Amino acid sequence: MGEILTEFVTQMKSDDAALNIKEILSEDELIEWELLVKVLTEIDIGNIGRDIEKVNKFYNLNRWQEMSVLAFVKMLEMMFSSAKPDLEALQEHMNKLDGVNAVEPEYKGGMFG
């Protein structure tokens, strides 16, 4: 593992309650990290193309940062693909529930049945 990841894992395994990225990164690295977090946060899985265009327009990213964005998009694609069977099963279940909820009992005029 690299230096940064080794330190991060060490912090994760310690008994301290919080991770502190500031202890791991230099001031310049912290700024780059914060920028990348901001950029990745702006990408919505439902609008990846539009959001990548927006990111490209508003941010002057270095090549490695652009590669990181593309790796993030690939990760989203892979996660969505692996979850697809579960999402389809959930959709099928929701469709069944919609059918049940569509049948309303006839009102008979009585407050207690």
Contact 65, 35 (CB under 8 A): yes
pLDDT in tens, 1-59: 589 999 989 888 888 767 888 989 999 999 999 999 999 999 998 899 999 999 999 99
Is a pLDDT exceeding 70 seen at residue 100?
Answer: no
The Cα 29–Cα 73 span in angstroms is: 22
How many C-beta atoms lie closer than 10 Å to residue 39's C-beta? 22
Q: In whole angstroms, give the CA distance from residue 71 to residue 78.
A: 10
Q: Which pTM was predicted?
A: 0.67
| Residue 78 pLDDT > 60 | yes
